Amino acid sequence: MDKLKRVLTGRDEVDDEERGFVAQALDSSSLSWSTRVQGFCACFLIGLVLAILGTIVLALGGSIKTFGVLYTFGNITAIASTCFLMGPMAQFQKMFATTRLVATIVMLASLVLTLCSAFWWNKAMLALIFVVIQFLAMSWYSISYIPYARDAVTKCCGSII
């Protein structure tokens, strides 16, 4: 498996002594691929459980405020889960790439505004509106990672309208 990773990442086999101390230290301190996948799965599942729990609370007659908070923290956790796979810096660079910039800004703004409307402004309906915007922005952001998915969704929505 390590040999396959070296080939795919473009690393040639080099003796540890030739690579230097800093390179060895960086490689030894990084997470293994299986640990990254486990971290991603755990973090993503926690986010999914929080979002589903928020939906269940709302369905059982709980407050919209509780739903908005649980759903928002679920989305934040789900977004953070991808940091395990590609690293935080690569994640931020991809989030703010020109193809995802608008979706990222709308998504992050709706996350913040949902929490503000739930905690500081005490406006439950406003929190619900921001949750809907959050869902749409998160969906648009997520499909930006699938080639030609945005074009397909745009054409489908255009044909419906």
How do residues 20-69 score in pLDDT, each as one tens digit? 433 443 454 477 888 888 999 999 999 999 999 999 998 898 888 888 88
Cα 37 to chain center, whole Å?
A: 14
Q: Is 17 buried (19+), middle (13-18) or exposed (0-12) by CB count in 10 A?
A: exposed
Residue 17 pLDDT > 60, yes or no?
A: no
The pTM score is 0.71
Distance CA 119, CA 44 (A): 25
Residues in Cβ contact with 51 at an 8 Å cutoff, skipping those fewer than 6 apart: 70, 71, 74, 75, 78
5: confidence class by pLDDT, cuts 50, 70, 90: low
131-159 average pLDDT score = 88
Element (H, E) at 94: helix 88-95
| Closest by Cα among 54, 44, 109 to 79 | 44
Highest mean pLDDT pick, 12-16, 65-69, 103-107:
103-107
Q: 6 vs 82, which has greater pLDDT?
A: 82
Average pLDDT, the chain: 82
89-113 average pLDDT score = 91
- Looking at residue 24, what is its pLDDT? 44
- Looking at residue 21, what is its pLDDT? 39
- Looking at residue 29, what is its pLDDT? 45
Q: 135 vs 9, which has greater pLDDT?
A: 135
Distance CA 28, CA 19 (A): 13
Distance CA 132, CA 68 (A): 10
3-class DSSP state for residue 123? coil
Cβ atoms within 10 Å of 72's Cβ, excluding its own: 24
Distances (CA, A) of 20 to 5, 30, 70: 20, 16, 47
Start-to-end CA distance of the chain, whole Å, equals 49
Residue 10 pLDDT > 60, yes or no?
A: no
94-109 average pLDDT score = 92
